[in-house]
Amino acid sequence: MQHEELLDLETLAGDNPELATLEAGLRHETGDEAGHWTRQYRASAKPGGKTQTN
Amino acid sequence: MACTSTSRADQATEPVRETLWTSPAIYSRRHRKSASALLAVHNQLARQRPLGGREAGFLELVEQARSAPAEAFTRVWTDPVAYYWVRIAYELLYAVLNETPATGVAAACARDYGAADTAAALERHLHEFRRFALGIAAAGGPGCRFDEPYRAGLPFALPGSLLYVAGRGEIAVYGIDGDTLYCRHGDTERHLPLRPAASADTGPRVEQCPVAGVDDYRCGLNAAAFNNLPGMEFTAPVQAAGPAFQEHRVELVQQTLQVLRDRAPEVFAQFADAVPYIALKPLRGGDYTNLAHSELPGTFIAAAIDHPHEMADTFIHEFHHNRLFFLEETGPFFDETHTQALEEQRYYSPWRDDLRSLHGIYHAVYVFIPVTRFWLRVLAEDPPDDSLRAYAGERIARFLLQLRIGIAQIDRHAELTPYGEALFRQMAGDVAELEGLARAAGVDDRAAALACGADGRIAPAGASSVRADVLEHLARFAPRQQRTHLESRLAP
């Protein structure tokens, strides 16, 4: 990946607010308003030609 | 589902236009989040031990990943399949810890595992992490050896690389040491060198998927990466087409990437950031033509059409679904206090015969803007090929009418968050700009409606003109109360 920064798990395991929130989300401590994942979505064009896309 | 994203502080000073179309920051932000999600899954499993000790093997492998060189881990964890895995792991663990049913792709995955309950599905899914341990070892990390083998269907892709184990049936992988993968196929033990096999061996062997390259960018045609993905029901047409289908279309993809580089350079530049591989399928394979999925960010499946400009249209389209997945990781687009923007399939879309969700229309508006921009550039080059010139004009005219409808639908029905609203206003501004460029270029929606066939031949498509075609679709498929409003928006 051209502009990709290195993912260092040791660093991310340290002071990482996002990790703390993800863990809280798993424990359901912060409720459903704690954050956001991309909504699951399958973007697919249907048969029928390219005029029937998306 | 409770979870979070990184702060949007690093986006605060970035112009919305850059955020929307070109900023590379969204890619690393999402990869950081998926690595944090891996640690969150690890930490909560280690603290709560909901599987009564059966999570030990997974915990050990994550510890090994933590000590692997960051370069090796990054290569593996930026593979689209890593997001798929960690998202499902997170959702299954959430379901187990909170005693709630799994939903969405996690539920489909649990079904495909044949698991008796969510805990069994989680245990099975944690075993799947071993493919990433193998990927890290293949990427130069420490070797790995499993007491219990990792079973994978063939072809089996090594995450973080374009290598895969080719063959038929299933292999049981015991680990990687140095540049050798140790496995068993049936009753036969195999030591497979981690480099493309030169022999005509028909048994399991390591291969590299076909690669199309332009300038410094290499795009794998990696059908194997779409195998072994429980819960993802759409991958069968890629596997059914077989590896030769990809191999025979390297030149087509190469030509497509060249068109992208020349006519959509800002998009081409991002392929290197975000798309390590794709896969092709026959146009009529499966119940869809092209597909991008939120759980596989950074890749897509495209139907092969023997026309590089048409393929470039598809690549830009599917790439931008991906970019929007990355953007959506930062925060929701819709305020769903009063409407269910994803679930309610009751809105007319000019691109589909069935009614769609507002979320789907938002996606469509987003992806058709850069596609229209691409065709404007093709037209501006005044191609000597008459059919290509006519087709470019046709696409521009059609997409601008459809975009006007899509924007009207979002404007009228959606409740957007401030983030979703800022992005949408930029999109509306971009469409207005494209309409001005189209007028200046003499694009006319009274031009004949055209379509491009699988053989790349451009031919008249039914209705007399683009405008008539779009209006006919609207009259046929829009609910009456939406139709009247939309017809007024299409006034010349």
% of chain B beyond a pLDDT of 90: 86
Residues 6 or more apart whose CB falls under 8 angstroms from that of B344 comprise B357, B358
pLDDT in tens, B409-454: 999 999 999 999 999 999 999 999 999 999 999 999 999 999 998 8
Of B322, B350, B1, B269, the C-alpha closest to A34 is: B1
Q: Let me know: does B254 contact B212? Beta carbons within 8 Å.
A: yes
Cβ <8 Å between B66 and A13? yes
Residue B46 has pLDDT above 80, yes or no: yes
The confidence score (pLDDT) of residue A38 equals 74
The shortest C-alpha distance from A14 to chain B (Å) reads: 10
% of chain B beyond a pLDDT of 70: 96
pLDDT in tens, B240-255: 998 899 999 999 999 9
The confidence score (pLDDT) of residue B200 equals 66
The confidence score (pLDDT) of residue B221 equals 98
Q: Which residues share a beta bridge with B280? A: B302
Q: Let me know: does A40 contact B294? Beta carbons within 8 Å.
A: yes
Given CB atoms, is B99 within the 8 Å cutoff of chain A? no
Given CB atoms, is A5 within the 8 Å cutoff of chain B? yes
DSSP-assigned letters across all residues of B306-361: S-HHHHHHHHHHHHHHHHHHHHHHHS-SB--SS--TTT---B--TT-SS-B-HHHH
Measured on CA atoms in the order B152, B153, B154, B160, is the torsion positive or negative?
negative
Give A-chain residues touching B328 at CB under 8 angstroms: 36, 38-39
Q: Let me know: does A45 contact B302? Beta carbons within 8 Å.
A: no
Q: Let me know: does B302 contact B316? Beta carbons within 8 Å.
A: no
Cβ <8 Å between B74 and A21? no
Cβ <8 Å between A54 and B24? no
d(CA B325, CA B294): 6
Cβ <8 Å between A54 and B5? no
Measured on CA atoms in the order B91, B88, B368, B11, is the torsion positive or negative?
positive
DSSP-assigned letters across all residues of B212-277: EEETTEEEEE-GGGGSS-TT-TT-HHHHHH-HHHHHTTHHHHHHHHHHHHHH-HHHHHHHHHH-SE
Query: Lowest-pLDDT range, A33-47, B395-409, B477-491?
Result: A33-47
The confidence score (pLDDT) of residue B242 equals 83
Report the mean per-residue pLDDT for chain B: 93
Residue of A nearest to B356 (CA): A54
Long-range contacts of B20-23 (CB under 8 A, 24+ apart): B20/B327, B20/B366, B20/B423, B20/B426, B20/B427, B21/B266, B21/B323, B21/B370, B22/B266, B22/B270
The confidence score (pLDDT) of residue B301 equals 97
d(CA A51, CA B409): 19
Residue B471 has pLDDT above 80, yes or no: yes
Mutation pick from A40, A46, A52 vs chain B, by most beta carbons of B within 10 Å, is A40
The shortest C-alpha distance from B288 to chain A (Å) reads: 4
Q: Let me know: does B103 contact B87? Beta carbons within 8 Å.
A: no
Per run of 10 residues, the mean pLDDT along chain A (length 54 residues) is 79 93 84 58 63 41
pLDDT in tens, B252-291: 999 999 999 999 999 999 998 899 999 999 998 888 999 9
Structure confidence at residue B1 as a pLDDT band (50, 70, 90) = very low
Residue B370 has pLDDT above 90, yes or no: yes
Residue B343 has pLDDT above 90, yes or no: no
Please name the residues between 8 and 27 in chain A that touch chain B, using a CB distance below 8 Å. Answer: 8-10, 12-13, 16-19, 21-27
User: Residue written as tokens 């093997």?
Assistant: B57
pLDDT in tens, B193-207: 999 876 666 789 999
Residue B60 has pLDDT above 90, yes or no: yes
pLDDT in tens, B110-132: 999 999 999 999 999 999 999 99
Given CB atoms, is B260 within the 8 Å cutoff of chain A? no
The confidence score (pLDDT) of residue B36 equals 96
